[in-house]
Structure 1
């Protein structure tokens, strides 16, 4: 899963209407069709399909590409068009700083430029700072993040929702402690995740994780861009090779070569 993270603890992105407007401003289908060209799948939530507890968060329905809706939400949040087309509020321009690396994820540079242009169409200025991946990682995981946005990817390495929902959205996991890089905090989400962690009933856990994703869907702190597709080739003589659902793992212990 590759996404543009939104710093929910920093104005103006602490206003959910501004975050929702950004999601409406991005044509994710155009990115998949014209930039990824079939090499990636749609991101329909904050978990990838195949992960236990995954729920289709209906992002296409909740946040369809709709510039008019994006502008309306910004207007509700008090932002009005300025003389150069960039929204303003109280003399402040709606200008977002975006931290990214180039070449860390497939087509990430082209995608960043595309989203930057899409933001401009609704009056949002995005100033992108390109750094080496190590520098991006250090800042995003630091105690203080001085950027509004950042590009990251995430893999649920054990294929269980807890691995992602706790690490990415529980308030105790805000850096430098954990991976809640959006600095998101919702007591209800915390309580549901903790309840699911205590439960030994898989049906109950799945229900609780679904509730968590329902809340996150309304308060989005990510712009999910795409899920990766792994392309693996093997000769005909390779037998017993099974593709593991987690991209970091190649299950080779039952693999053998036919002579």
Structure 2
């Protein structure tokens, strides 16, 4: 099983830099140009490249160049063939029939056994994979039938997104199963590229597999660039400068350099939702926010529209849900379910809940001050810092003492789960299926489980249990209603849907949910 710390890291790390159906393209670029090198900037090093441990968005993006999944996702959110040419879905299992022409980067065929080994390795408790229970649902097993050319993924009980989980599961093949250590700084997949050089902290070089002919929606290795170089570039200003000068072909930009790129000629510009800005209240028995009246009052004290603008420098969109685009369940679970801004009502509600202003203006109940320790990641940009200061000011106005605690991601993970030293936390969680949220929003509380905020929303638990037992499309109304139940209780507060600029120069490509559709990468003439 995953350790509680691993669960917390998963919560933090699945902040997928998601771009739903991004077609990056330099303006006036001309037609496709064969060969050459496509260069892409990542904000951080991807680390160990074994897919069974891939939770960081930068790792997942890197691996998408070299690995295939059983199925892909189209621009409109539909499941499409990839390694699997067809499938048969039942309530508690899905059977995939694999293509017969797909090969691994070492030349060996991709077999049902490869898929089964990839799933079962993650599900093995000895592996301690941080994506078990998230990408691979807890309890999932895989069984290969080599004679029939099929692999079956099964669950102990009906599971509504059993097909959709396969969109995110990278299949390891060939020698990677024999020696997992090869995957730390190498790849063993069936994708259109193979890693040829890894220089941690600097760059990763991939070489095209021209024989690749089984990509999503007919994609092949015929017209893709000969090489892809992924450069590690934490400084967005440097990335922006290189994009403008032609030293880079693509990058995601969230910060102040975004405006400069949007105004620059010759830059392809696509703006897409990337993650949800939201904050959680700690509901432990000894915390002020254990009382739903306090949570709702604190939420009423904040002008969420102003907060959204501050957190994203005005580039965000109204929050409509918790799942990244393209969502399997379309709809708005937020509107009408979050307490409206009303400072006077917030003060009155705190009075009614027994929190009375003390001599210094800080509210007190039973001799205890209304103190909120606000936790946030300092690595998420100036907007997150500004949002923290705005929230602190709003809550001080209604009589709360607020202590800001900005930390780097690794330290924040420890505070989030192990020490539990917080009362409110700004924590975007990027998932592609609503079922992936259940362990974080219900069940055993930290540090024994992944439920870091100690949530106990019975309506949410009832609805997700019901939704999980029926096919995805049938269960969607209940999945959305379950999210709304969290907002009704102010268990967490959705603030904004953050957007990102996918900026390109001299190239086009597609990304879905933060990963490349690598067979779509093209260099363009005159870019």
| Distance verdict in 2 for CA 1:134–1:184, change over 3 Å | same
1:196 corresponds to which residue?
A: 467
Equivalent residue for 1:149, pick from 414, 424, 436: 424
2:361 corresponds to which residue?
A: 85
2:507 corresponds to which residue?
A: 238
- Alpha-carbon deviation of 1:150? 1.9
Whether the aligned pair in 2 keeps the contact of 1:95 and 1:126 (CA below 8 Å) is yes
Q: Secondary structure at the match of 2:453?
A: coil
Richer in strand (by share)? 2
Cα distance per residue 1:124-170 (max 9 Å; x no partner): 1111122332111122132x5132122212111xx222122x13212
Whether the aligned pair in 1 keeps the contact of 2:329 and 2:473 (CA below 8 Å) is no
Q: Secondary structure at the match of 1:147?
A: coil
| Distance verdict in 2 for CA 1:81–1:176, change over 3 Å | closer
Whether the aligned pair in 1 keeps the contact of 2:417 and 2:446 (CA below 8 Å) is yes
2:394 corresponds to which residue?
A: 118
| Distance verdict in 2 for CA 1:249–1:177, change over 3 Å | farther
Q: Secondary structure at the match of 2:333?
A: coil
Whether the aligned pair in 2 keeps the contact of 1:78 and 1:89 (CA below 8 Å) is yes
Which residues in structure 2 correspond to 1:97-116 (within 5 Å)? Answer: 97-105=373-381, 107-116=383-392
Cα distance in structure 2, aligned partners of 1:146 and 1:251: 41
TM-score, normalisation: structure 2: 0.44
Alignment of 1:4 with 2:4, yes or no, is no
Equivalent residue for 2:415, pick from 139, 160, 168: 139
1:184 corresponds to which residue?
A: 455
Which residues in structure 2 correspond to 1:149-228 (within 5 Å)? Answer: 149-156=424-431, 159-164=432-437, 166-172=438-444, 174-176=445-447, 178-199=449-470, 201-228=471-498
Whether the aligned pair in 1 keeps the contact of 2:378 and 2:408 (CA below 8 Å) is yes
Which residues in structure 2 correspond to 1:17-36 (within 5 Å)? Answer: 17-34=293-310, 36=312
Cα distance per residue 1:157-186 (max 9 Å; x no partner): xx222122x1321224x3346542211013
Structure 1: give runs of 5+ residues left out of the alignment: none
Query: In angstroms, what is the RMSD of aligned CA positions?
Result: 2.3
Q: Secondary structure at the match of 2:392?
A: helix
- Count residues in correspondence: 249
- Alpha-carbon deviation of 1:87? 1.4
Q: Secondary structure at the match of 1:193?
A: helix
| Distance verdict in 2 for CA 1:126–1:73, change over 3 Å | same
Q: Which moved more, 1:73-82 or 1:221-230?
A: 221-230
Alignment of 1:56 with 2:325, yes or no, is no
Larger radius of gyration: 2
TM-score, normalisation: structure 1: 0.85
| Distance verdict in 2 for CA 1:55–1:70, change over 3 Å | farther
Whether the aligned pair in 1 keeps the contact of 2:310 and 2:386 (CA below 8 Å) is no
Structure 2: give runs of 5+ residues left out of the alignment: 1-275
Richer in helix (by share)? 1
Cα distance per residue 1:15-34 (max 9 Å; x no partner): 00100111111112112334
Cα distance in structure 1, aligned partners of 2:400 and 2:409: 25
